[in-house]
Structures are given as structure tokens and as C-alpha cells.
Structure 1
């Protein structure tokens, strides 16, 4: 739905409404929905286009490519999957990435596509070394699997392992909210013209658990083990905050928190998540 909305220059609400209308979950005609959209008066053309595309998708109607143009075919996973990706960065990091990509290319063919997707996610989340940890853990699943089962266990492990290693914490949220790609996406979705000023307000509501999770493991455990101290701190932490990331102070605060990811492995939350992963593997 998000892609349909983006392709038509509209918001996701228009495509979601189109999918809802196309499912016949509500007793309204397509024309009644379109009339309601038209009554809004703003961005009507783009909203109707996104609505119509999602409506057709829900009905199973696919758009055929123009004459002489072939439909895009999905790329099958194969040798060189990792090294074929276009990656840029410092030479030292590129060498590390190429080493990880070579390890993916050495995996069973059926596993490479999912493994490479997981590797990209993990490296983007943390760093090259974290990608190596991901592949080390994935290798443990491959040893337990076989071609007779089409490496189903390994493929599932590649997916869920990446998700588990990329857990959401305050550092991750702050990192994503201060990336230039997010600013570009927000401007595109809102329809802000070049040169116009965009004000963005982020809402945060941290709890004592999130606060302790971003502390060194020893200190965070110390606070959590003392309910009175944890309750005292929670009364001062546990309330909503609105941060203007279009201001220097607001952006700098989140940028600083996002930069803490280089120390993430020393923090309490990482210790807890790593222990969960080890228990998960113990059940395999």
C-alpha cells in the first residue's frame, strides 16, 4: 500500500481506503468513495489515482505494461548475489563488506537471497562486525539443515535472526529519525516543494525500561534490581516529550542518542537480547 501511494504521489491513507473499498468489507460503491475523496479539495487527483490502483489490486486486477514493454521479472538468487550489490563507503569498510558478501555467496543457493537481505539489514543497523556475528549465527543453523529439506530451517533462521538482532531501542529510533533519507521521504509524502520550510515534531514517551536499556549493563541491572530506585526514576522519566527535529537543539539531541550505537554491545538491552538469541538456538 505504501508503494502504491508513493507511485501515485499520494498518502498511504488513500491506498488503504482503496484496498478497503475493493475488499467489499463495507456496503458502499466505488463511486461513493471517490465522491468523498473529491469533496476534500486537496490533492484529489493523486488521491484518486492511489485509491483506484489499490482498489484494482484488491480486486485482483493487475496493470499490464504498455505494448513493447516487458514486465519486470524477479531476479533469482544466484552466485555473486552479494558482490553484485552497489555499495559505497570508505575503503576499509568496503573490504569488510566484500568479505561478508563472499561468505553469503558460499552459502547454499536456496539460502543466499534471504541471507543477503538479512545481512544488509544487520549491517545497516549496527556495523560490519555485527554482520559477521549474524553470519556466524546463521552458520549454526545451516549445520543443522540439509538440502533434503530445501534448507527451510536456514531460510527461516536468516529472516528471524536478522529481525531479532535488529531490535528496536531508543538508539535505533533516534538513528532513523535523523537520517537524511527520512527527511527526504517526509518531504515527498507531505508534498513539500524545494526551498520550503518543513517543521517536524517527534513524539517520545520513554519508560524506565527503555532508560535502563540504554545504560551500561551493570548500571542498568543495578537500577532494575532496586524497585524503589526504579520507581523514583520512572516518575521523572515516564512522560511524553515532543521534540522539534527541524530545530538545532532537537535534532542534535536525537543525533547524539543515535550515535550511541557504537557502544550498543555494552548496554543492558543488548545483553538481554543476546541472551534471548542463545536460548532460541538452544531450542533448535
Structure 2
């Protein structure tokens, strides 16, 4: 009786990959290798919804050659499955760490059977990208799940290895599969499948070799949880000599910080870099980033304005510089709000275009095209215009109808064409006129009012002042997204009046901020505010 009739099962392999990563090619290589060794092989695929909302699942089954004669009436070939069965998959190959997590969640990868081979790089899912807050899944949680949810985990940044070889991730993952020893084939058999495909053989084999070597190394593990730093309380004021030594050390640190800052920001921001050394040490790194950001966004004078604003918070910072650090971050983010000028500047940055060429592995003499899909709204156009003109046109129903008609289908701009690049370049060059625009004046007034509230609150409730600064996080993007954020932000600042004087004011505002970031429609925030109003009413009744 043949071996498969006596209960032998096929080798089952599931490949989870996104569009453009060569998952189908990887599955074809496995099938070709199996067939060359007289295995019965079958490859099927179930496409995802889109490139990132759902990865394509390629499923391969390999059945070894029969080791005996087929009995009379027996079947000559095994019947293979067309889709992976949870709990019955021997090998799972994932092109990205989140896809490995999905495989575990769906039951394809199990600790009693499955060898999990996954790239540790991240391509953020749509749900992670559209989250108003930080919607990213913790990589350490995914790594922990990969180790616990598989019998054996083989992990490395196969995407980076493929990029080094000028190939795609499917080739380095194929090398990882070979290096894992999970299949009964030699390295030569794996490489023969790549050669026989006849496509990008040299670069694919180079990526294969890198993946093969990476599979020999231990898979990365989650970072150990850091232990809390002990804090000594109640030591009393230091003696005079100690005070003098501390003052001298602080002066030295400021001098070093000013020198290092000057090197980081470049010659155009030397005066601003020198000012950074006057702030608390914990905030200096964030301040340097804010200086560069605001200078690129507008000019060094705008950076001076940024430092002046942060200095207001630093003057009332009662603790370890946390308030100053938060101000350094959130003031810079708000001052560099997204407008059409800034979007145009970001689109034509050389660093961005070079990054696109590198991502698509374009050769030095190879031309590429980058197309931008834009959908400008009436407010985005009028906000960029001088204040008086912008205000009049924003109130004009006729102008609104014209813009709606012209932009209802959106715009496609070829950034790499002469006309497309020139359009964006001209828009970016309007930057010196930004201070006279309608939105600029509105944003600066709102920033100052927000900081006035934070400074006033810091004198009575330091933690609540920190939370007021963090509320800036709800102001995101442009268009409808920004409009929703402004509504949520206004509601949060209004809530601080009701919370003033309460012992749990900071914690309550933090919960309200989390609710504001939970959904774009503001439903969670409305519910949380209603609960707050009910609690306040019950207390005063």
C-alpha cells in the first residue's frame, strides 16, 4: 500500500504577502522545487481586499513521491486542499511582522506544529495609519506573540536584506525558508528553482543568500521591560559647596549643549542653538528638533518666536522639565501646521524623491514618474490667500460653487514632470507671504490663547497644565480631519474650566483626550463629556 494511503500528510505552507512583494513568485518557487523533486505540488491564492487592508494568502501543499505500488482501485494522486486549515499548517511565511500576528490570530500558526518565518520590518496597516492618536501596534507585543504562537520562530529584517541586494522580499524570504531547514530539500535545490525562473536571477540569488544566513541567527526577542528609576525624596537642600559644584557643572553642560546644538542645526541657526542651552537639559533635544522644523517651515525669525513661546512655559516649570519638553514638542507641531504651501514643499523635497527612487530600486539612468492625488477644498485655498481676500472669498457662495465644480473629481499632478514640479515649486516659494495669509493669523492667535491657559494653570496645577499642552495632539491633518480636530480641541479646553480645582483634573482631561482620539466623528468624546457633565451636576445638586 502506498505511503499516502496509509495516513501520510502533505507539507503545508502558507505565505502571507502584500501586493508588489512577490508572494506569488515565492509560492511558485516552492512549487517548482517540489515538482523537480517528484513531489506532488499545488499552489492556490486568496487575494486580500487591497494592498494593505488584507494581504494575499498563497497556500502550497507538497506531497512526497509514493514509496510503493498503488493497490488495485487506489487513487494515483493525493487530493490536496486549496486553503490553509487552522491548526494544520506546517510553515507560515510572513512578509511583515503584523502579518505574522494575523497568521497567529487566524490559527494558521500554532505552537504545536508551525515554523514561523517572518520579516521583522513593519508596513503599517490602514487601521494604524488612520488612527487619530498613535495607532501603531507595539512591535514587542508582535515579537512576543511570534515566539509564543509558533513552534519555532525564524525572524530577521528580510525586507532590508532584499533592499541591500536590489531585489524584492520574496527572494530573501525564500532564503530564510531554505536556511530554516524546514523543508527536506538542499540549498542547491532551492537555488535551482530561482535560476530556472529566469527573472532577475543574480539579484534574487544575492537576496536569497542574505536571507539564508539570517535564518541561521537567533530570532529577535522583545526588549526587556525597563525597571523604574528610584527617586530619592526628602534629602533637603544641598550644602553650599555642592550648590557651587552643581552650578559649575550646569554651566559646563550648557556650553557643551550650545556647541553640539550648533553643529546639529547648522550655521543658519547658531543664535537659536545658543538659546537652547538655556533651557532644562531634558528639553534640549526636543527643542533642537523644533528649531530645525520651524526654520524649514518658515524662517529663523519664526524659530525665535517658537523659542519665546516655549520660554513662557519654562519660566513656570516647577518640576523636572516635563512641562518645557511637552511645550517644545507641541508648540513646534502646531506652529508647523499643514497648509497648501507646506504640502507643496514636502512633495518636491529632494530627500523624498530620492527615497522613492530607492524604494522602487530605480537605476541611476532610469526615469520614474511620481503622481500626486490631490483634492483641495475651499477652506484650504482661501486660507492660503491674504487675509482680506481670503475672508471675502470664503464667504462667497459663487466662489465656493466654482471651486467645488473644479475640484469635485480631484487633481492628479505629476511631480516629476516640468509642469507638475513647477506648479508645486511655485506654491512652495510663496512661503515668505505666509504670515499675511488668512490662516496664519488665526493659528497664531489660537496658539497664544492655548499657551496663556497653560501658563495660568501651571501655577496652580502642574499636571493639568501638562495635559493642556498634550491636547494639541488632536489637531491633525487638513480639510475635514482638521475641522473635526478643532472641534474636539475646543471642547477639551472648555472642559478644563469644569475640572479646575479638582484633584483628578489631569487624569480626567487625559481620559477626555483619549476619547477625542478614539474616533473621527467625536462620538466617544461627546459621551465622555456627557458623563463629566452628569458627574458635575450630581456634585452640585
| Same fold by TM-score greater than 0.5 | yes
Give the secondary-structure state (helix, strand or coil) at the position aligned to 1:141: helix
What displacement does 1:238 show?
A: 4.1
Which residue is equivalent to 1:132? Answer: 304
The residue aligned with 1:82 is: 261
The one of 27, 39, 42 aligned to 2:107:
27
- Tell me: CA distance 1:190–1:144, structure 2 relative to 1, closer, same or farther (3 Å): same
**How many angstroms apart in 1 are the aligned matches of 2:372 and 2:107?**
37
1:41-64 Cα offsets, whole Å, 9 max, x none, are 9542356789999xx66x5179xx
* Corresponding residue for residue 323 of structure 2: 153
**CA offset digits 1:65-112 (Å, max 9, x no partner):** xxxxxxxxxxx996234123262xxxxxx3x51000000012121221
- TM-score, length of structure 1 as denominator length: 0.75
Q: Which has the higher contact order (CA 8 A, sep 6+)?
A: 1
Tell me the distance in 2 between the aligned counterparts of 1:98 and 1:16.
Answer: 45
What are the Cα deviations for residues 148-198 of structure 1, in whole angstroms up to 9, with x where unaligned? Answer: x21211111110011101111111111111111111000011111111010
Structure-1 residue corresponding to 2:374: 204
Residue pair 2:280, 2:324 contacting (<8 A) in 1 also? no
TM-score (ref. length: structure 2): 0.41
Q: In structure 2, what is the equivalent of residue 271 of structure 1?
A: 441
SS in 1 for 2:324: helix
1:96-175 aligned at under 5 Å gives the runs 96-146=268-318, 149-175=319-345
In structure 1, the residue matched to 2:170 is 44
| Superposition deviation, residue 142 in structure 1 | 0.8
Larger Rg: 2
Query: Are the equivalent residues in 1 in contact too, given 2:377–2:403 (CA < 8 A)?
Result: no
TM-aligned CA deviation for residue 17 of structure 1: 2.9
- Name the SS for the 1:220 alignment partner: helix
Q: Is the 8 A contact 1:111 1:151 kept in 2?
A: yes
CA–CA separation in structure 1 for the residues paired with 2:311 and 2:173: 47
Matched, 1:60 2:222: yes
Between Structure 1 and Structure 2, which shows a larger proportion of helix residues? Answer: 1
Q: Which residue matches 1:90?
A: none
CA–CA distance in 2 between the matches of 1:110 and 1:274?
26
What displacement does 1:237 show? 3.7
Work out which of the residue numbers 349, 367, 370 in structure 2 matches 1:179: 349
Q: Distance in 2 between matches of 1:33 and 1:231?
A: 55
Q: Give the number of aligned pairs.
A: 245
CA 1:134–1:46 in 2, change beyond 3 Å: closer, same or farther? farther
The structure richer in strand per residue is: 2
* Separation (CA, whole Å) in 2 of partners of 1:27 and 1:220: 57
Q: Which runs of 5+ in 1 are unaligned?
A: 1-8, 63-75, 88-93
8 Å CA contact retained: 2:317, 2:324 = yes
- Cα distance between partner residues in 1 of 2:348 and 2:426: 10
2:382 and 2:391 in contact (8 A); partners too: yes
State the distance in 1 between where 2:335 and 2:273 align.
18
Q: In the TM superposition, what are the counterparts of 1:180-259 in structure 2 within 5 Å?
A: 180-259=350-429
Whole-Å Cα distance in 1 between the matches of residues 321 and 453 of structure 2?
Answer: 18
Taking the aligned partners of 1:126 and 1:175, their CA distance within structure 2 comes to 11
| Contact map agreement 1:244 1:251 (CA 8 A) in 2 | yes
Deviation for aligned residue 1:22: 4.3
Residues 142 and 236 (structure 1), Cα distance of their counterparts in 2 relative to 1, 3 Å cut: same
- What's the secondary structure of 1:191's corresponding residue? coil
| Residue 270 of structure 1, CA deviation | 1.1
CA distance in 1, matches of 2:415, 2:257: 43
Q: Give the conservation status (yes or no) of the 8 Å contact 2:387–2:436.
A: yes
TM-aligned CA distance change 1:121 to 1:16, over 3 Å? farther
Give, in whole Å, the separation in 2 of the partners of 1:194 and 1:43: 21
C-alpha change, 1:46 and 1:264, in structure 2 (3 Å) is: farther
